[in-house]
Amino acid sequence: MNTAEIRRRFLDYFATRGHEVVPSAPLLYNDPTLLFVNAGMVPFKPYFTGAETAPFDRATSVQKCVRTLDIEEVGKTTRHGTFFQMNGNFSFGDYFKAEAIRYAWELVTGSQDAGGLGFDPERVWVTVLHSDDEAAALWANIAGLPAERIQRRGLLDNYWHMGIPGPGGPCSEIYIDRGPAYGRDGGPVVDEDRFLEIWNLVFMQEELSTVRAKDDFDTLGDLPRKNIDTGMGLERVALLLQDVDNLYEIDQVFPVIQRAVELSGRRYGRGGDDGRQDDVRMRVVADHIRSSLMLIADGVTPGNEARGYVLRRLLRRTVRSMRLLGVHDPVLPELLPVSRDAMGAAYPEVVENFDRIAGIAYGEEDAFRRTLTTGTQIFDLAVSDAKTAQQPQLSGERAFQLHDTYGFPIDLTLEMASEQGLSVDADGFRRLMQEQRDRAKADAKSKKAGAASTEVYRELRALGLTPFTGYEELVTESRVRGIVRDGALVESAGEGDVVEVVLEQTPFYAESGGQDSDAGLIRADGATLEVVDVQRPVKGLVVHRVRVADGELRSGVDVSAEVDGEWRLGACQAHSGTHVVHAALRQVLGPTALQSGSYNKPGYLRLDFAWPSGLSPALRSDVEEAANQAIRLDLNVRANYMSLAEARELGALALFGETYGEEVRVVEMGGRWSRELCGGTHVQHSSQIGLVTLNAESSVGSGVRRVEAFVGIEAFRYLARERALVSGLTEALKVQPDQLTDRVHRLVEQLKTAERQIAELKSRNVLAEVGTIAAKAHDMWGVGYIGHHAEGVAGGDLRTLALEVRNRVQDTPAVVAVVGGTAEKPAVVVVTTQGARDRGLKAGDLVRTASEVLGGRGGGKDDVAQGGGTDGSRVGEALTAVEHAVGHVVQS
């Protein structure tokens, strides 16, 4: 049974039993404690915690998940995969243990002809919490399981909570016996490789007050409404029903391994130490390709922080693993389409958006291949230093620097060091990596702990949502529901205080969807508040950050909330301008130029979009022209509410990574010309935008570009500044504006010609000194040493000078050391003749001596080497240090 069919059967089973089928949330979920959705219950967490009221009593979903804490274990065991799918059924105060157990048993053991999964009941084992007699009795009565196949375990295994105060409860896990070929008999308490867990049923029934550890917490008592949260590992069920050894061999993953086999010429599953290493690498490739595909599909782009760094690491580990399999050509164009075809049946969006996905992934591989080139150069220098110091291994610090700073994988460092006859201090490397992980975990823990500070907002949200009246009006009469200072409710705030205020209703737009928050005033009897920020810390609740300009504000008083009209007009222009620029990009570049992020505020917008390369001036001009033509056409702008399915059928574009409810707001400009899901504020006609002027275009990651623009009056001001600049230049150069470009080009060419002439004269002057410098040689026990300070000479000229001096003394043992450059950036070149090298003198060693004195480093070959530093005041000391080093070698 293929994985997509298992997924369909699960959803169908629960849909026919009154469960709302909820689509998977994007992997980028709006949760400050998570990089990605990492469990099936995450989108339902507000319902379980009580922050929001569930719109249904029971639900089911197949949720996309990503976990990367155990990324180093991927491929080594059958338990670790970065991307996985979690089937779940959920009850919010509806049914409880008996129904959850009955549903699970029926689906797991029901015949495949009747829509079940068809597992043999004799192969099913379960675990329950040691004290949960009720669950044990239900398994015996409903499923008829004998006592020996109902095993009891402690809190570490069979109790669930979020790690913070909130709901918790015992759980019951379902296992399938894979048979004696996979391990020892005796149930999951003996061997969890043979007895594979497929489903965890969590019975949320208690309120936790303090959580110290997984098995150390305090309870307040029973929850007023008991809930069910279950998670069935889709990949685990698939590997059992497809009769394969591990999750890397199921139908959604294994095709990538097969393609890796074809590309590398290696066999999968051939045994032996080398074979096991190859198997691990192929599993890493298959897992990471799928994870990368799904992350990019949900709007993640490679970067150096947070989610972007995770994606970058997955893609680079894929390329590295294929390199270790012997494939040095680009591999993502060969592998990513295979994963697309395997996942497309369950997730059609990966097929629909593949051009965008591929552009981002392929761009990252190209960048990493360049990184490998740079990293190899740094590695070569590290090897040279180790050999010079006669050290048998590279230090853990150097290996970690290569990994962390230059993105150079440790496996490649180990492999290449071995080729050079060196080992690597792997323990030191692992220690530094662990320190980095510990820092990351501490940071994550602090963020998780910070989630508890939302308690005050949950209390306020429980009193009702905050209606937004700003689409219809800029001034709304309202009432203060609560005042928050330092995370706690207070009764009042005085002049000069900065606090957060929640109103019964508000016209202030809270920052979201790329649009900055509104500015304005809140007026109460005897008090004036300046609104400095507006946010939604929990869904449905608008919080105003204010400064009390005068008077005193008290909770419960009536207020007038007044949005600054000029600010809102600018915000509407900028947000509508963002939609116009997005549509213009797609009109000029094609449908794959999809928005991946945006920010706009009065007078300014920026928009990130998928595109593999920079825009030429002509393309930028075309985009700007298309945008302003749409403004000139005075397109009608309107917003309609409809179901998400209707919006998709209409072709409305959704922002990657955003979560949308079943009812969405669709903003149209000129009908189909621009149609996007959007909750922001907009102008009524495109002409009200005024003008859009693109002022910048840049890269923000592999396959992602950013355009920036001024909008409305700011666009006019920008053009006015440009006009003033042109006017000043035309006056200074005495030309007409239309002649300015040609005149500047001629001046640049004249300047380049003059610089070349100066460089040639400088080189001739430098070379004219060769004879004089060569004559400075003095004998040091049979070796001539020439040290010279060529002030202001740098680059190729310094190297040429040193080589020309060496040519004058080529027939004798001699060392030439020349220091040039500037006081802030001195440069040094050391060259040796064959006679000097026969005496054991190496230019690379000598240039390192000089560079260290100058506050830098250097290296090179035995005959020619160069380096530099940061302290030009020590040139004399550097030349003397080389002289002493020469004397030391020739006397030893």
Inter-CA distances, 99 with 66, 94, 118, 187, 450, Å:
29, 10, 20, 25, 36
- Output the six-digit token pair for 315: 């893609």
Residue identified by tokens 């949950």 is 458
Strand 778-780: give its sheet, edge to edge.
778-780, 783-789, 814-821, 826-832, 864-868, 858-860
How far apart are alpha carbons 654 and 646 in whole angstroms?
A: 13
Q: Are 546 and 475 in the same domain?
A: yes
CB 686 within 8 A of CB 576: yes
Residues near 729 by beta carbon (within 8 Å), at least 6 away in sequence: 740, 744
Min mean pLDDT across 244-248, 441-445, 831-835 is at 441-445
Min mean pLDDT across 25-34, 52-61, 643-652 is at 25-34
> Is the pLDDT score of 474 beyond 90?
yes
pLDDT tens track for 113-137: 999 999 999 999 999 999 999 999 9
Of 447, 463, 496, the last residue of a domain is 447
State the CB neighbour count (10 A cutoff) for residue 739. Answer: 12
Q: Are 405 and 300 in the same domain?
A: yes
Q: Are 647 and 692 in the same domain?
A: yes
How far apart are alpha carbons 50 and 46 in whole angstroms?
A: 6
pLDDT at 335: 97
Min mean pLDDT across 137-146, 227-236, 407-416 is at 407-416
Closest CA to 782 of 829, 869, 840, 706: 840
> Is the pLDDT score of 12 beyond 90?
yes
Residue 743 resides in a domain? no
Q: Are 692 and 783 in the same domain?
A: no
Helix (H, G, I), strand (E, B) or coil at 281: helix
Q: How confident is the model at residue 452 (pLDDT cuts 50, 70, 90)?
A: very low
Type of residue found at 3: T
- Output the six-digit token pair for 561: 């909330």
pLDDT tens track for 618-659: 999 999 999 999 999 999 999 999 988 888 888 888 765 566
Residue 729 resides in a domain? no
Q: Are 204 and 277 in the same domain?
A: no
Helix (H, G, I), strand (E, B) or coil at 340: helix
pLDDT tens track for 597-622: 899 999 999 999 888 888 999 999 99
For 74-80, what is the mean pLDDT? 74
Type of residue found at 71: I
For 197-223, what is the mean pLDDT? 91
How far apart are alpha carbons 333 and 335 in whole angstroms?
A: 6
Q: What is the DSSP string of 377-434?
A: HHHHHHHHHHHHTT-SEE-HHHHHHHHHTT---HHHHHHHHHHTT-EE-HHHHHHHHH
Min mean pLDDT across 340-354, 442-456, 469-483, 710-724 is at 442-456
Annotated binding site: 575, 579, 678, 682
CATH number of 696's domain: 3.30.980.10
Helix (H, G, I), strand (E, B) or coil at 689: helix
Which of residues 383 and 189 earns the better pLDDT score? 189
For 438-454, what is the mean pLDDT? 53
How far apart are alpha carbons 155 and 605 in whole angstroms?
A: 52
pLDDT at 447: 43
Q: Are 412 and 302 in the same domain?
A: yes
Which of residues 258 and 796 earns the better pLDDT score? 258
Closest CA to 531 of 490, 568, 499: 499
pLDDT at 657: 52
Name the residue range of residue 684's domain: 568-716
Residue 536 resides in a domain? yes
CB 849 within 8 A of CB 885: yes
How far apart are alpha carbons 279 and 273 in whole angstroms?
A: 10
- The mean predicted confidence, pLDDT, of the chain is 89
Residues near 210 by beta carbon (within 8 Å), at least 6 away in sequence: 165, 217, 218
> Is the pLDDT score of 453 beyond 60?
no
CATH number of 134's domain: 3.30.930.10
Inter-CA distances, 339 with 5, 28, 33, 288, 299, Å:
17, 20, 30, 10, 17
Q: Are 359 and 385 in the same domain?
A: yes
pLDDT at 19: 96
How far apart are alpha carbons 253 and 251 in whole angstroms?
A: 6
CB 487 within 8 A of CB 499: no
How far apart are alpha carbons 647 and 381 in whole angstroms?
A: 57
Q: Are 383 and 490 in the same domain?
A: no
> Is the pLDDT score of 440 beyond 70?
no
Query: What is the count of structural domains for the chain?
Result: 5
Please name every residue paired with 127 in a beta bridge, in sequence order, or none if there are none. 151, 173
Residue 738 resides in a domain? no
Q: Are 39 and 178 in the same domain?
A: yes
Alpha-carbon Rg for the chain, nearest whole angstrom, is 34
> Is the pLDDT score of 451 beyond 50?
no
Residues near 828 by beta carbon (within 8 Å), at least 6 away in sequence: 817, 818, 819, 820, 847, 850, 851, 854, 858, 866, 867, 868, 869, 878
Q: Where does 59-141 have alpha helices with state H?
A: 97-109, 133-138
CATH number of 489's domain: 2.40.30.130
Q: What phi and psi values does residue 142 have, to the nearest 5 degrees?
A: -80, -45
Q: Are 519 and 644 in the same domain?
A: no
State the CB neighbour count (10 A cutoff) for residue 139. Answer: 26
pLDDT at 79: 66
Q: What is the DSSP string of 574-627?
A: HHHHHHHHHHHHHHHH-TT--EEEEEEETTEEEEEEE-SSPPPHHHHHHHHHHH
> What's the distance, CA 790 to chain centroid?
48
pLDDT at 182: 92
pLDDT at 31: 66
Q: Are 636 and 691 in the same domain?
A: yes
Residue 254 resides in a domain? no
Most confidently modeled range among 17-31, 635-649, 681-695, 750-764: 681-695
Is pTM, for the whole model, over 0.85?
Answer: no
CB 631 within 8 A of CB 689: yes
Residue 442 resides in a domain? yes
pLDDT tens track for 137-147: 999 999 999 99
Of 560, 590, 618, the last residue of a domain is 560
> Is the pLDDT score of 439 beyond 90?
no
Residue 510 resides in a domain? yes
How far apart are alpha carbons 257 and 274 in whole angstroms?
A: 17
Closest CA to 197 of 207, 206, 189: 189
Most confidently modeled range among 584-593, 697-706, 826-835: 826-835
Percent of the chain with pLDDT over 70: 95
Closest CA to 285 of 241, 237, 232, 326: 326
Residues near 273 by beta carbon (within 8 Å), at least 6 away in sequence: none
Residues near 671 by beta carbon (within 8 Å), at least 6 away in sequence: none
How far apart are alpha carbons 860 and 847 in whole angstroms?
A: 8
How many residues make up the chain in this entry? 892
Closest CA to 13 of 138, 112, 141: 112
> What's the distance, CA 355 to chain centroid?
20
CB 814 within 8 A of CB 781: no
Residue 679 resides in a domain? yes
How far apart are alpha carbons 203 and 561 in whole angstroms?
A: 45
Min mean pLDDT across 44-48, 50-54, 854-858 is at 50-54
Annotated binding site for Zn(2+): 575, 579, 678, 682
Closest CA to 152 of 178, 126, 118: 126
How far apart are alpha carbons 391 and 420 in whole angstroms?
A: 12
Q: Which pairing describes strands 704-711 and 692-701: parallel, antiparallel, or unpaired?
A: antiparallel
pLDDT at 647: 87
Q: Are 580 and 681 in the same domain?
A: yes
> 508: which DSSP letter?
P
pLDDT at 443: 55
For 95-108, what is the mean pLDDT? 97
> Is the pLDDT score of 449 beyond 60?
no
> 143: which DSSP letter?
I
Of 400, 419, 447, the last residue of a domain is 447
